[in-house]
Chains A and B, each alone.
Chain A
Amino acid sequence: MRRQFAPTILTAAAVTGVVAFSLVASSPVGNAAARPSSAYAVSAEGQVPVDKTPYVESLDGKRRSSSALELPKNPLLSVRAGTVTAGNDAASVELFDVTVGPDVLSQVKVPAELKQTCANLPAQGADDLPIPDLPLPDLGLPLPTPSTKDLPAKNLPELCNLLLTPPSSLLGIDAVNVWCSGDDGGVDIGSITLLGQKIAVPTTKQSFTIPAAPLATITVNEQTKRTDGSFTITGLTINLGGGAQVIRLASATCAKPAAKPTPKPTQPTTPPTHVDQPPIAPPPTPVKTHHPVTG
């Protein structure tokens, strides 16, 4: 008899779960309380996971700020400094000197054959020489093993330059500023350097993507508006190796503060007693037009 208790209790728990979940699921969606204003500087998923760091949120509309930008020790990502702020339907992030994949190419042992070719480049006509398709050693990063063809070099001299005097990182970003206010927001990026080459980034376009496949895809100014009225803008999303590693930099979410304890529809009453009454509407300006009315 006693043995029957355990399954019975488990079943009861499951049924309670169903009922409780149904109640939760059927409650009206879109409560503004669900998502507060918030901001974070860095988050990452994949081989190097990083929780939103630093993360601040403001449930009551009061301004909160943090500059505690300490990333877990990792070979992939570093940020020199940053500040995140969240407040009343407003949030912002400032970031300086972000480096992704430091010294990525300096670890590469250039094949001897290629070294020799590079040393003996002809003085003229070298620009027309094709790029040899040589596999590169594993970069120790969440990237597929690349080949020399994947590097941003148009010709052999450029490839030689890239491998023999390697850039300091895969990706360098000198500054990122992101802000939102209500359902509006913007992104400002200082400059992005991809393997030593500066790339142009139109920050005013939403979700502009810089394809640098297969090394990285960089998406700038991603914006999301949700049905609960909240709005999120993310400065940069860096996708490495086709999704093996995703890094989000500078993300701000704006939402109205929670705490209005009257989620049920209420009937306005008269006379007006609200302290936060909106401004008095002005008298209308008559419009000269013809519209037949019932007379």
Chain B
Amino acid sequence: MRRSGVDERGGSSVPALAVLALLGVVAAVAIFGDREPPVDLSTLSSSSTQTTISSAPLDPQPYAVTDGVVVHPRAESALYTAPDADAFAKIAPKQFGPTWLPVVQQTDGWVRVLLPSKPNRSTAWMRDEDLDRASSPYLIRVHTGSRTLELFEQGKRLGVWKAGVGARKTPTPPGRTFLLGSIIDNKRSASPIVLPLGAHSPTLDTFGGGPGTVAIHGWPRPDVFGAAISAGCVRVPKTALAHLQKVPLGTLVLIDSK
């Protein structure tokens, strides 16, 4: 009787021991399988104002402000859907000038940035180690309802100007985007100073041979300021433009319908 009890106990323990042993193997595989091969950037498409990367995760808080941190990839760098997830695209260190992107979220070793590619509100996670950091004390707010542009520095309003915004059929896209570049385009003789943003026209796939990049720029006639008449761009007076030209790249631009 006693002996059979021992046998019985031994027999029933086998599956449990087997599970424990299996756990050990799985744990070992998990530990040693941890290494990730380096990302092959050559197979990834590059995020820029010219490209569409539909797999990019969208901005979860498109009307929130940030603490002003902007980052610059020192070299061509991978873009990830989440920290430690797969790379889905890459970004070059230059767009019009140096690439500076606003940080909208961060976690240990990773930052989430807004992207210059289509669709609007595209974001990506990047490795902290690939990036230079700086901070912009500025914030640009564009209100398509009141057709005004406000510029803030350290939370203090530097100015508010009437602005021409997108017409009803070609609206200026709402949400948060950023100052992507500062260019002087001499083909636009009337208003050569152009500040391209990270956003695109939601209704025009292309415009004038370009990808429909939305920008802030001047306009030769003052009657447009305060009107909803543009193809998506934000037209501002000269004084506003002079201020905006000093704003660092990557600075957040918040577009709402107020």
Contacts and interface: CB of A to CB of B under 8 A. Distances in A.
Interface stretch (A58-66, A69-77, A221-229): A221-229
With most chain B CB atoms within 10 A of its CB, the pick from A262, A279, A290 is A290
A125 interface: no
Contact of A266 (B19, B100, B107, B135): B107
Contact of A17 (B19, B104, B187): B19
Interface stretch (A21-29, A96-104, A202-210, A238-246): A21-29
A179 to B, nearest CB: 18
A290 B23 contact: no
Contacts of B185: 288-291
B117 interface: no
A293 B127 contact: no
A3 B67 contact: no
Contacts of B232: 294-295
B109 interface: yes
Interface size class for chain B? 35 or more
Given A277-B135, A288-B184, A293 B97 contact: no
A119 interface: no
Contact of A280 (B108, B134, B155, B181): B134
Given A268-B67, A278-B69, A293-B233, A226 B35 contact: yes
Given A13-B16, A229-B129, A268-B69, A281 B100 contact: yes
Given A14-B16, A183-B129, A272-B135, A265 B105 contact: yes
User: Considering the complex of A and B, which 5 residue pairs feature the smallest CB-CB distances, nearest first?
Assistant: A7-B12, A292-B210, A281-B248, A292-B208, A294-B232
Interface of A: 3-4, 6-7, 10-11, 13-15, 17-18, 21, 25, 28-32, 182-183, 224-229, 256, 260, 262-272, 274, 277-295
Given A270-B68, A286-B245, A294-B233, 11 more contacts: A3-B9, A11-B15, A17-B19, A21-B26, A25-B26, A28-B84, A263-B108, A268-B66, A281-B136, A289-B185, A294-B232
Interface of B: 5, 8-9, 12-13, 15-17, 19-20, 23, 26-27, 30, 34-36, 38, 49, 61, 64-70, 83-84, 96-97, 100, 103-109, 112, 127-129, 133-137, 139, 154-155, 166, 170, 179, 181-187, 193-194, 196, 201, 204, 207-210, 212-215, 217, 230-233, 245-251
